[in-house]
C-alpha cells in the first residue's frame, strides 16, 4: 500500500519505526486534518493573538492574528491604538470579481465578430449551469478576448459572492472552455485557470495628528521614509514585508490564501514599472496621512473555513456574520497599523531594540526551566539588553546558585 493510502496513524507508526520522533497529537485533530491535505502525519501550531480595538469605518473590532513572530501582534495593537486616537481607519473595498484566463488555439476559420456576438449567450448558459452561485450574489460577469499569433486569449470576470472563489472560478472556466472549443475556427484548449492578478482591491486610509506619533518631527521622518520606499527597492521590499507581517497573520487566522495575496501584492507593488512601497505616508493639512491599497481575493465561506474549528473560533471574534468586503477592510487596516508602527520605530528609537525585547520571550521559552525561573531570566535579559541563548543560560545558572 502506498504512503498516501495509509491511515494517518499508520503513517505515524511507519515513521516511528524509522526513528523519527513525532509530537503527540489528539486523534480527533489528526482525523480532521487528514481530510484537508494528503499524507498528514501531524500538525504545526501557531499562537492566536488579538488586536484589542481596531476601528474601521466607525466600528470597533477584535482582530485575530496567527503568527509566531513576537513583535507583530504588539505592533498591530500599537498602531490600532494610535488610529483609535484619531477616529480610526476609513476603508473601502472594490470587489467586482476575480479574473480567469482561457487560452485556445485558433485557425484561419476563426471569426472574432462571430465570437463577440455569442458572448451574451455564453454568459447566460454558464450562469444557468452555476445557478447556485447566482443565488448567492455571484456569477460570470463578463468575457473579453483578443487574438495574437493564432492564440485566442479570453479574460473572464467571475464574482465569487462571499467565497474566495478559486475552485468555483476554475469550474466555470473549464465549463466555458468546453463550449468554446465547439465554435468554428477554435482547434483546442491550452489552459483554463484563474488568475491571481489583483482585481479585487481594498484601500485603507488614516489621518493622524502629529501629537499621536510623537510630534511633527516624527511625522516628517515617517513621510520621508515613505518617499524613500517609493524610490528605493531595498527599502520598499522591507517596508512591504512589514505590512505583510500583519496581513498574513490575519489571513492565516481566518483560513484565507495568504500565498495568493502575496503573489498579487508583487504585481501591485510593480504596477509603475518598478517595485515600490504599497503604502504612502505624507504631510497634508497639518496631519500625517497614510494610505494602503492591497489586493483582497479573500472569502468568509468556502474552502476549509467551515471545516476547521480553529478558523471558526477566529471568526467568532467578529461577533456575527462578516462580509468578505468588510474582512478585507479590516485586514488592510491591520497592514497599515503594522506599517505605521515599524516606520515610527525606525524614525525614533530604531526597530531592533523593541523587536529584540519581544524576541527575548522565544529565547527564554526554550530554556529547561520552571515558569517562575523563565520570568526572572526574561527580566534579566531586558535589564541588560542581552538576548542571546548563552546569556540566558548564564542568568539561569546564576539564579539557581543564588537560590541555594
> Which residues are known to be catalytic?
69, 241, 257, 355
CA 16 to CA 22: how far, in whole Å?
7
User: In whole angstroms, what is the distance from residue 208 CA to residue 220 CA?
Assistant: 12
Place of cell 499562537: 47
Q: What are phi and psi of 46, to 5 degrees?
A: -125, 145
Could you give the CA distance from residue 36 to residue 7 in angstroms, rounded to a whole number?
A: 13
CA 42 – CA 25 distance, rounded (Å): 7
The percent of the chain in helix, strand and coil, each rounded to the nearest 5, is 50, 20, 30
Tell me the β-bridge partners of 156.
100, 143
Q: What is the DSSP letter of 211?
A: G
| Residues ≥6 apart with Cβ < 8 Å to 120 | none
Whether 185 and 108 have beta carbons less than 8 Å apart is answered as: yes
How many other C-beta atoms can be found within 10 angstroms of the C-beta atom of residue 198?
23
What is the pairing mode between strands 279-284 and 186-194?
A: unpaired
Q: Which of 356, 197, 191 is nearest to 268 (CA)?
A: 197
State the Rg of the chain over Cα: 26
Residue 107 backbone phi and psi in degrees, to 5: -120, -170
Q: How far apart are CA 135 and CA 302, in angstroms?
A: 15
Burial of 83 (0-12, 13-18, 19+ CB in 10 A): buried
Question: Distance between CA 268 and CA 196 in Å, rounded?
Answer: 11
Q: How many CB atoms lie within 10 A of CB 260?
A: 19
* Residue written as grid cell 502629529: 210
Amino acid at each position: 500500500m502506498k504512503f498516501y493510502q495509509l491511515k494517518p496513524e499508520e503513517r505515524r507508526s511507519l515513521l516511528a519505526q524509522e526513528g523519527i520522533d513525532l509530537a503527540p497529537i489528539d486523534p480527533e485533530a489528526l482525523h480532521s486534518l487528514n481530510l484537508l491535505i494528503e499524507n498528514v502525519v501531524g500538525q504545526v501550531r501557531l499562537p492566536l493573538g488579538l488586536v484589542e480595538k481596531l476601528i474601521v469605518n466607525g466600528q470597533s473590532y477584535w482582530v485575530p492574528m496567527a503568527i509566531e513572530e513576537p513583535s507583530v501582534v504588539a505592533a498591530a495593537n500599537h498602531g490600532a491604538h494610535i488610529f483609535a486616537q484619531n477616529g480610526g481607519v476609513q476603508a473601502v473595498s472594490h470587489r467586482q470579481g476575480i479574473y480567469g484566463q482561457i487560452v485556445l488555439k485558433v485557425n484561419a476559420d476563426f471569426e472574432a465578430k462571430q465570437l463577440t456576438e455569442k458572448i451574451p449567450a455564453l454568459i447566460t448558459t454558464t450562469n444557468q449551469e452555476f445557478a447556485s452561485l447566482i443565488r448567492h450574489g455571484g456569477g460570470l460577469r463578463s468575457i473579453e478576448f483578443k487574438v495574437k499569433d493564432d492564440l485566442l486569449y479570453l479574460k473572464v470576470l467571475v464574482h465569487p459572492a462571499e467565497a474566495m472563489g478559486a475552485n468555483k472560478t476554475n469550474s466555470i472556466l473549464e465549463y466555458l472552455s468546453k463550449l468554446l472549443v465547439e465554435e468554428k475556427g477554435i482547434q483546442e484548449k491550452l489552459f483554463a485557470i484563474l488568475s491571481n492578478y489583483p482585481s479585487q482591491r481594498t484601500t485603507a486610509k488614516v489621518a493622524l495628528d502629529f501629537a499621536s506619533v510623537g510630534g511633527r518631527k516624527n511625522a516628517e521622518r515617517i513621510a520621508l521614509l515613505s518617499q524613500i520606499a517609493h524610490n528605493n527597492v531595498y527599502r520598499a521590499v522591507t517596508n512591504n514585508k512589514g505590512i505583510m507581517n500583519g496581513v498574513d497573520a490575519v489571513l492565516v487566522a481566518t483560513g484565507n490564501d495568504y500565498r495568493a495575496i502575496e503573489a498579487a501584492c508583487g504585481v501591485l507593488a510593480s504596477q509603475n514599472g518598478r517595485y515600490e512601497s504599497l503604502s504612502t505616508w505624507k504631510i497634508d493639512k497639518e496631519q500625517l496621512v497614510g494610505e494602503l491599497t492591497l489586493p483582497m481575493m479573500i472569502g468568509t465561506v468556502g474552502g476549509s473555513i467551515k471545516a476547521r474549528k480553529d478558523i471558526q473560533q477566529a471568526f467568532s471574534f467578529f461577533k456575527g456574520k462578516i462580509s468578505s468586503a468588510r474582512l478585507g477592510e479590516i485586514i488592510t487596516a491591520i497592514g497599515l497599523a503594522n506599517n505605521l508602527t515599524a516606520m515610527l520605530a525606525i524614525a525614533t528609537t530604531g526597530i531592533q531594540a523593541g523587536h529584540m525585547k519581544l524576541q527575548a520571550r522565544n529565547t527564554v521559552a526554550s530554556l529547561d526551566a520552571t515558569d517562575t525561573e523563565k520570568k526572572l531570566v526574561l527580566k534579566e535579559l531586558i535589564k541588560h539588553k542581552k538576548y542571546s541563548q548563552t546569556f540566558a543560560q548564564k542568568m539561569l545558572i546564576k539564579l539557581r546558585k543564588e537560590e541555594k
